[in-house]
Amino acid sequence: MADNTVESSSQKSYSADSIQVLEGLEAVRKRPGMYIGDTGLRGYHHLVYEILDNSVDEALAGFCKRINITIHADESVTNEDDGRGIPVAQHKNGKSALEVVMTVLHAGGKFDGGSYKVSGGLHGVGASVVNALSERCQVEVRRDGYVWKQSYERGKPVGDVERLGTTDKTGTKTTFKPDPLIFKGEDTTYSFTTLGNRFRELAFLNAGLHIHLTDERSGKSQDFQFTTGLQEFISYLNESKKALHPQVIHFKGEKDTVEVEIALQWNDSYTESVYSYCNNINTIEGGTHLIGLRGALTRTVNSYATDKGLLKDLKENLEGEDIREGLAAVVSVKVREPQFEGQTKTKLGNTEVKGIVESLVNDKLADWFDRNPGPTKTIVGKCVEAARARLAARKARELTRRKTALDGGALPGKMADCQERDPALCELYLVEGDSAGGSAKQARDRRTQAVLPLRGKILNVEKARFDKMLSNEEIKTLISALGTGIGRDNMDAGKIRYHKVVIMTDADVDGSHIRTLLLTFFYRQMPEVVERGYVYIAQPPLYRAKKGNVEKYLKDERALLDHLLQSSLNGIEVRNLKVGTTEGELKDFVIAIQKFDHLLKTMASKYDPDLLHFFVSKGLDLKKALESQEQLDKLVAEFKAWVEKSPTKGILGVTHTLDKDVEHNCFTLKVRISRYGHESESRFGYATAAGSEWQELTSLWRKFEERVKLPIELPGDKEPVLFHTYQGFLAHVLETSKKGIYIQRYKGLGEMNPEQLWDTTLNPENRMLLQVNIEDAIAADETFSVLMGEEVEPRRKFIHDNALLARELDV
């Protein structure tokens, strides 16, 4: 009876009322991963790509020549192009077309094939998804002789589309700030390098298009523009390698409305770098265009080599992998109705494209071979060498294949295996040196954790051919332990014995080098193991903080600061603090001051910090102020009066001018400040008032004043201690936070005893593991080639460009 009652109750609870319909952009906010992949760094950067792709589609249609992307100090991003501008006229649903594009899923101009011949955007969700996942978003459109604007908060319009002023330009300017409620990761920030790699790619694929990237957080900027497109792309891919022939092989053609462009060049490396694109989208899983290219390459090279008698004593034809060893190639197709797999578009499925690409490569490559016999002979010679090495490696591979206990073999002698046999539950720790290896063996959970100590540095596989690599003892030991086999034909990631392969090295230069060597091995020889997410990097804590008998391990500088703040705020008493403020809210208040201060300093390249701080502290509506000359003059006069009372600021002179901004129907205020003989200019215009940074600063200031108004009052021995600035209070908190705390920085794993190693690095409940993923194959390929390849000059340049970015480095 009881069971029937429960079933009946369950059935009643599932009724028509249980069916939910998510309106508008709710679905995007509810399931963001479905639209942008994830809510980590990958999805965070994908927001930029979605808006940028719309501008690039304008370039494909022939209407856009320049795109400017700016990363602002508060992590907001502006994308501005000189295309036609999003239509703003009334749509048939009664709303402005701009509002429809930004707030309705599957709304766009790429469905009918009329507005855009080809495009990367097909589903009409890009702009609306970015809007939905942004805390704030604003779009400015220059079109039909006017400037139009609409703002949004978390996908919802804040007012109607406004007409601001007149203009003789066209284009769209989109500014958005990712929503911290969606992107919650502490380290979620825009990477200048990651964005730059994508923009460079697009500039290569669209010859002549100018993309300019500015990072206001660091002051860095970079331009991407290439006149010959794919040919320069290949030269870039081979920059850290030695090309076998000076001329890049390049050809293009069109058949049945499918445009094909291909560039290729062989180099002296032992790996292939072949990339495929459809409508500017990097199809990382390949597809029919890549199959067509590979098939034609194999057929054409074999045909030429056989006709000319270049295979010598080789008893079999060249295989595809022999021909692609050392090949850098790019195939780009433009298809009117591409068939992709899902919104992420990683694989092209149009069957007709395969034959078109194959036919073009067969004809054009055979023609190039006939006209260039010298370079072709060098290329075929390289392919023949690769075939010989493959055949030799086939014999050597048998020696490295791991045997199981059933056939009498054994694991490497220095390895401590685990008892569990289910790979999903097993972990293998690759530990630097015998000393740390010994500690790890004592500390581990013998049931599921295996330890393999590595003696010194393994072979750099970037510089070694396959057969030489297989003769290296450390490499053989590693392959034997993993149990996957090695090589394109014999490696089976499904046979791996451990679903977590954890690289555990010291936090010093040698440890970083060993980690890079191991990552090079996995990326070049076992890419599928990396793609499946089996490779991890251990993150042992960098700090140990001890106060009395209480100690805590801390991952990095940020965690240390968080811990110090927590301990210093425990007993602090702020007399004029808002009643009812909790300890957690007080901590958030201090962190907000730190964020405010950091934002002010980051914006110092555009605005004088004291002037910006003064304007924010006035709590004024900057948009309204910029409409009134009288109010702006009064504001500057008040700042001058404040300067006279603050001689310690070193400000010797303040002058200002006002310019009329016709496009936005307001003024632009220019304030020149002379400080210790150095003169700087701050421009406060419509872009400032509407910008996300200004809104962030004013929002933080309002929160400060709601929590506690200046001066902040703390109890003293005789009289209260007063802080007349929030920054002064922050400095006091940070200074008192370190009193009575012993802080130790770890340099190597050997400094920890087995118990500490278990608590911090091996225990699944406490440890931090960093999963290794391939976000950008081209950038990864370039990085390994530069750092581990034969060419010295690209490595020297890399060190020169990135030396100041190194953090927490022990030399």
Q: Mean pLDDT, to the nearest integer, of 249-263? A: 94
Q: Mean pLDDT, to the nearest integer, of 729-754? A: 79
* Catalytic one of 74, 75, 325, 506: 506
Q: Mean pLDDT, to the nearest integer, of 18-34? A: 73
What is the rounded CA–CA span in Å between residue 95 and residue 100? 7
| More confident call, 51 vs 93 | 51
- Catalogue the long-range contacts made by 158-164 (C-beta closer than 8 Å, 24 or more residues apart): 160/96, 160/99, 161/88, 161/96, 161/98, 161/99, 164/140, 164/663, 164/664, 164/665, 164/686
| More confident call, 572 vs 695 | 695
Instruction: Calculate the dihedral angle through the C-alpha atoms of 29, 30, 35, 41, rounding to the nearest 10 degrees.
Output: 70
| More confident call, 278 vs 794 | 278
What is the rounded CA–CA span in Å between residue 709 and residue 724? 9
Task: For the chain, give the percent of residues with pLDDT over 70.
Answer: 85
Q: Count other Cβ atoms within 10 Å, centred on residue 745.
A: 14
Q: Mean pLDDT, to the nearest integer, of 272-277? A: 92
Instruction: Calculate the dihedral angle through the C-alpha atoms of 325, 328, 333, 339, rounding to the nearest 10 degrees.
Output: 50
Q: Which of 60, 58, 57, 32 is nearest to 46 (CA)?
A: 32
- Tell me 493's DSSP state: G
Cβ proximity of 733 and 725 under 8 Å = no
* Catalytic one of 432, 608, 693, 781: 432
Identify which of 12-26, 445-459, 566-580, 668-682 has the greatest average pLDDT.
Answer: 668-682
DSSP H helix total and E strand total for the chain: 28, 27
Alpha-helical (H) ranges within 401-495 are: 434-443, 466-469, 473-482
What is the rounded CA–CA span in Å between residue 416 and residue 293? 46
What are the pLDDT digits (tens) for 431-450?
887 667 788 889 899 999 99
Q: Count other Cβ atoms within 10 Å, centred on residue 311.
A: 17
Question: Which pair of tokens denotes residue 137?
Answer: 């978003």
What is the rounded CA–CA span in Å between residue 71 and residue 69? 7
State yes or no: pLDDT of 639 exceeds 60.
yes
Element containing residue 177 per DSSP (H, E): strand 171-178
pTM for this model (two decimals): 0.79
Q: Which pLDDT value is given to residue 427?
A: 93
State yes or no: pLDDT of 787 exceeds 70.
no
CA-angle at 771, arms to 766 and 772, nearest 5°: 155
Q: Mean pLDDT, to the nearest integer, of 123-133? A: 80
Element containing residue 451 per DSSP (H, E): strand 449-454
Q: Which of 737, 761, 742, 741 is nearest to 751 (CA)?
A: 761
* Catalytic one of 268, 321, 508, 810: 508
Q: Could you tell me the pLDDT band of residue 407, with boundaries at 50, 70 and 90? A: very low
Question: Which pair of tokens denotes residue 545?
Answer: 């903080």
What is the rounded CA–CA span in Å between residue 726 and residue 590? 9
Q: Which pLDDT value is given to residue 398?
A: 57
State yes or no: pLDDT of 703 exceeds 60.
yes
- Catalogue the long-range contacts made by 230-236 (C-beta closer than 8 Å, 24 or more residues apart): 230/204, 230/205, 230/261, 230/262, 230/263, 230/330, 230/332, 231/263, 232/204, 233/201, 233/204, 233/205, 233/263, 233/330, 234/263, 234/264, 234/265, 234/328, 234/329, 234/330, 235/265, 236/200, 236/204
Q: Could you tell me the pLDDT band of residue 124, with boundaries at 50, 70 and 90? A: very low
Q: Which pLDDT value is given to residue 487?
A: 67
Q: Mean pLDDT, to the nearest integer, of 327-337? A: 93
What are the pLDDT digits (tens) for 84-109?
999 999 877 778 999 999 998 866 55
Q: Mean pLDDT, to the nearest integer, of 336-361? A: 84
Q: Which of 722, 732, 737, 703 is nearest to 576 (CA)?
A: 722
Residue listed under structure tokens 């506690």:
708
Instruction: Calculate the dihedral angle through the C-alpha atoms of 652, 657, 663, 664, rounding to the nearest 10 degrees.
Output: 70
Cβ proximity of 44 and 180 under 8 Å = no
Q: Mean pLDDT, to the nearest integer, of 420-433? A: 90
| More confident call, 227 vs 438 | 227
Q: Residue 233: CA atoms inside 13 Å, Cβ hemisphere, count?
A: 33
3-state secondary structure 568-637: HHCCCCCCCCCCCCCHHHHHHHHHHHHHHHHHHHHHHHCCCHHHHHHHHHCCCCHHHHCCCHHHHHHHHH
DSSP sequence for 96-122: BHHHHHHHSTT-SS-SSSSS-SS-S--
Cβ proximity of 429 and 450 under 8 Å = yes
Element containing residue 667 per DSSP (H, E): strand 666-675
| More confident call, 494 vs 472 | 494
Q: Is 113 exposed, middle or buried (0-12, 13-18, 19+ CB in 10 A)?
A: exposed
Q: Which pLDDT value is given to residue 766?
A: 82
Task: For the chain, give the percent of residues with pLDDT over 90.
Answer: 45
Question: Which pair of tokens denotes residue 710?
Answer: 């200046």
Looking at the DSSP assignment, which residues form a beta bridge with residue 223? 212
Q: Which pLDDT value is given to residue 202?
A: 94
Residue listed under structure tokens 């046979």:
495
Neighbour-count burial for 55-79, b at 16+ CB within 10 Å, e otherwise? bbbbbbbebbebbbbbbbbbbbbbb
State yes or no: pLDDT of 609 exceeds 70.
yes
Handedness of CA 36, 42, 44, 45 (dihedral sign): negative
Catalytic status, residue 506:
yes
Q: Mean pLDDT, to the nearest integer, of 584-604? A: 88
* Catalytic one of 467, 510, 627, 663: 510
What is the rounded CA–CA span in Å between residue 182 and residue 6? 37
Catalytic status, residue 510:
yes
Q: Mean pLDDT, to the nearest integer, of 113-128? A: 58
Identify which of 341-355, 488-502, 603-617 has the greatest average pLDDT.
Answer: 603-617
Q: Could you tell me the pLDDT band of residue 396, with boundaries at 50, 70 and 90? A: low
Q: Which of 626, 592, 778 is nearest to 696 (CA)?
A: 592
Instruction: List Cα–Cα distances, 751 to 300, 387, 603, 805, in angstroms.
Output: 59, 48, 41, 27
Identify which of 21-25, 89-93, 225-229, 761-765 has the greatest average pLDDT.
Answer: 225-229
Q: Which pLDDT value is given to residue 1?
A: 39
Task: Work out the mean pLDDT of the chain and round it to a whole number.
Answer: 84
